[in-house]
Amino acid sequence: MGKNIKLSITTILFSILLLTSSNAELNIKVIMSVGDEIITNYDLDKEIKYINVITVGQLDDQESKKIAIDSLIKDKIKITALSNYNNIIITDELLNNQIIKTSQSIGFGSIEDFTTFLKFQEYELDELKKKILLELKWNQLVYQFYKNQIVIDKKKIDKKLKILIAEQKKNAEYLVYEIFIEDAAIKELNKKSEKISTKHNIVNEDKDGIIIEIESASYNDKKKLINSEKSIEEVIDVKIKDQITIDNLIKNIKEKGFENTAIQFSSSPSAQQGGKLGWISESKFSQLLLKFIKKTKIGSITEPIPISGGIIILKVENKRVEESKIDIEKKMEELIDTEKNKQLNNFSTNYFNQVKNNIKIKYFNE
């Protein structure tokens, strides 16, 4: 098995060398290796085009390149994990539905308009299908591994459902986007103040509200109570990944737009959708987040908010109030699905890190 892999890599490298020597215009170079997978400058060019597609081309070259490299590394790690499992089948219907969802998340009303846009960006629809297919297979692999470990607390689901029923006559919903910066990305804290505030708990067990109960918000890992909270002044002075300060992050939001900043810096899985979480009932937010959301003007962003695991900035895009009765059975299914997806996201992150830790990533001079 090992010899076959080495032979395959040798064959690929030899083929690239032949292409390079026979046609100087191609100038294909291996720039990285991720385990037994290689990444060429040609792969990087394609990935940059993909990044420009999902950000609608609003990032500069350096930003696009960095995001593209990170994305390629993640893809190669997932390809490595999937290489030992050939029994994962994704139906055409599921793939096509996901393509439609992707086009809609970018802002296209029809797949025809989206296809035209891809051609304009010189990016092939088949390449997008490969990206989406890889993600669907990865999700299916994680599900197969961990489906028996999903635990649904029926009492808590029932409690949430009762809250929704009680509030159904005045159900306000917010169209929300997020940028989440996890603790692992924080480089240093301002040492000036060590004050601890206990004014708010992130999770209110009496109301059983949560930070954001949605599949994307995987950072709300175990709904732990937070008995202390960093002050806003402390948060403003932290440095996050890539050594960008919170002030510069907010400046980046103003210059590049919230969605593109989310794609570049957010640690949440929602980053790939520009941080979009969609329409969320106010009953699904913790009291802390709801306080910030309610005082934020529509179309504006909140202050950086310290929460369990890091900080979050929300964009409150819109608000609506619906007075419709809840389909109890359907809502129960939605709450259960949301809880399952949240747990699967956590399993996915943990499994990805396990695979990554066993893979050597090597950079070559460009």
Give me the pLDDT at residue 235, please: 40
Could you tell me the residue ranges of all domains in the chain? Answer: 30-148, 159-353
Collapsing DSSP to helix, strand or coil, 337 comes out as helix
Residue 151 burial by Cβ neighbours in a 10 Å radius (0-12, 13-18, 19+)? exposed
Give me the pLDDT at residue 246, please: 78
Residue 206 burial by Cβ neighbours in a 10 Å radius (0-12, 13-18, 19+)? exposed
Give me the pLDDT at residue 300, please: 92
Where do we find the tokens 């007075």? 323
Distances (CA, A) of 131 to 4, 36, 74, 268: 26, 19, 11, 19
265 vs 239: CA distance, rounded Å: 12
Give me the pLDDT at residue 218, please: 35
Give me the pLDDT at residue 99, please: 92
Architecture of domain 30-148: Orthogonal Bundle (1.10)
Cβ atoms within 10 A of the Cβ of 271, count?
A: 21
66 vs 56: CA distance, rounded Å: 16
CB 169 within 8 A of CB 323: yes
Over its length of 366 residues, how does the chain's per-residue pLDDT go in tens digits? Answer: 444 444 444 445 545 544 444 444 458 899 999 999 999 999 999 999 999 888 876 778 888 899 999 999 999 999 999 998 988 999 999 999 999 998 888 888 888 999 999 988 889 899 999 999 999 999 999 999 999 999 999 999 999 888 887 776 667 899 999 998 876 554 433 332 233 232 333 333 333 333 333 333 333 332 332 333 444 444 434 444 444 577 888 888 988 899 999 998 888 888 888 999 999 988 888 888 889 999 999 999 999 988 777 789 999 999 988 766 778 888 899 999 999 999 999 999 999 999 999 999 999 875
Reported as a single tens digit per residue, the pLDDT across 68-122 is: 999 999 999 999 999 989 889 999 999 999 999 988 888 888 889 999 999 888 8
Which of 292, 291, 261 minimizes the C-alpha distance to 274?
261
CA angle at 209 for the pair 208 and 211, rounded to the nearest 5°: 135
**Domain 159-353 CATH class label:** alpha beta
Give me the pLDDT at residue 344, please: 93
Residue 197 DSSP label? B
127 vs 129: CA distance, rounded Å: 5
